[in-house]
Amino acid sequence: MADGGGQKDSRARRMLEQRIGFLQDALKPERPLRIVDVGANPINRPDYQDLLEIGGCEVWGFEPEESAFAALQETAGPGRHYVQRAVGRPGKGVFHHHPMTGLGSLFPVREKSVKFLGHPRWFKPEAQKSEIDLVSLDELDELPRPDLLKIDIQGGELDVIRTGRDKLSHAVCIIPEVRFYRIYDDEPLWAPLDQELHDQGFVLHKLLFAKSTVIGNSQRVRMKNPVFRNQLIDGDAVYIRNPEFTEEWEDEQLKQLAIASAGVFRSFDLTVFCLDRLVERGAVAGDVPARFMDSLPRWVHSEG
């Protein structure tokens, strides 16, 4: 019997290649989309993975943990640059290791929080700590200015963004992990992160996903159905440079946001918005927005 999931993935890849190929031919960007991934731990497949595999972007990934960095190095290839450094507020920091992959952080797990969330075993007071050197994005002279920043470092996102204003000055998209319910001592929640991004000229576009859990209670073992997962914990948010001021953007920024929205976070209405602005400038042919729509699968089209 044929693998239905494999066939679906293959179709999705072909459609991605079709729409990105069309955009590259129509827009003729100066270079591939530049992505900086802070916390590039390979435990999860990044949303840009398919775009990377078809040669549609270049990635600079930062990961300080030895085992995670070694795993990244095994996948090194064209368009992939991995650096074993910790990014954040410059200076010394204390990294709190955790036996569960992905829970290590510059902040210690907060016992009361994880108990309420029904995950008391996440609290590991005996976990190893190590001093690390932190460097800001702005201090990394060898790092080119990114078009897109993806960041997931368990609470350190705000410091990276605050100390990377110069490097992010031309970025068109930032995808941070945002925390709704604190699980680490003193970690910033969503509000100050959102304010900082607004101050840097970005607005919230959408949530890629939001993670919820079952609150700890006496009947938790019986609550297997997703209907019981009601307490928000965190999620990945997509912020874009404020589209109300595109007259101030360079053509290349519009082109790169069109590719990012079509190839990373699938906001095709935003893609067409960028194409419309390029048409108005005379930077691309007038039929490009309609031809891009033709490149999308039929099921996304409305009648008429």
pLDDT tens series, the chain, 304 aa: 445 556 667 777 888 899 999 999 999 999 999 999 998 877 778 999 999 999 999 999 998 888 888 888 888 788 899 999 999 999 999 999 888 878 889 999 999 999 999 999 999 988 889 999 999 999 999 999 999 999 999 999 999 999 999 999 999 999 999 999 999 999 999 999 999 999 999 999 999 999 999 999 999 999 988 999 999 999 999 999 999 999 999 999 999 999 999 999 999 999 999 999 999 999 999 999 999 999 888 777 775 4
Q: What is the rounded CA–CA span in Å between residue 181 and residue 118?
A: 13
Pinpoint the alpha helices (H) of 55-105.
Answer: 66-74
Q: What is the pLDDT of residue 3?
A: 56
pTM: 0.93
Res 8: pLDDT: 65
Q: Which residues contact 287 (CB under 8 A, 6 or more apart)?
A: none
Q: CB–CB of 148/33 below 8 Å? A: yes
| Domain ranges, ordered by start, for the chain | 22-296
pLDDT number for residue 260: 98
Query: Can you list the alpha helix ranges (DSSP code H) found in the chain?
Result: 4-27, 49-53, 66-74, 111-116, 157-162, 190-199, 251-263, 268-280, 288-294
On the CB side of 89, how many CA atoms lie within 13 Å of its CA? 10
The domain covering 22-296 belongs, at the CATH homologous superfamily level, to Vaccinia Virus protein VP39 (3.40.50.150)
What is the model's pLDDT at position 1?
43
Residues 281 and 51: their CA atoms lie apart, in Å, by: 27
pLDDT of amino acid 2: 47
